[in-house]
Amino acid sequence: MVMKMDRTSIALLAWQTVDQIKESPVYRAFLAAESALMGLDGPSELIAAFTMAKAKYEQTSTYGKNHPDFKRDAAALAAAKTALYETVEHKRYAACLRELDSILSDIAGDIAETLDSCLVSPQKHCITRR
């Protein structure tokens, strides 16, 4: 049996997909890792140092590589980034983010495939469910 899906059923299906993502253990692990990184017990000093170094580098880099402070600010940014990225919290966050991105990429592919099947054709219904 083929059932034509209208905009309301598509919207409901989208919200169901979002709810499934939010309830998944991968998403919950990502939220826990993000909380550990950004929370009070996380490496807040390293995050602040990285943020400041990045802002300074971006400001200097607008003038180009010939700016007298460019190398110094680039080295400071690299050091701040290395210090932050070597923490256990950031490594866990990055691993969870990669896993979540992989799952979301698969979901996005499925959504694109469904929408791509919605080509205008006199014989075919747009988005059908069997």
Please tell me the pTM assigned to this model. 0.76
For the chain, 130 residues long, the average pLDDT of each consecutive 10-residue run is: 61 88 96 95 96 97 95 97 97 97 90 67 53
Within a 10 A sphere around the Cβ of 59, how many other Cβ atoms? 12
pLDDT, position 2: 44
pLDDT, position 54: 98
Within a 10 A sphere around the Cβ of 100, how many other Cβ atoms? 18
Q: What are the Cα distances from residue 61, in Å, to 47, 70, 84?
A: 21, 6, 21
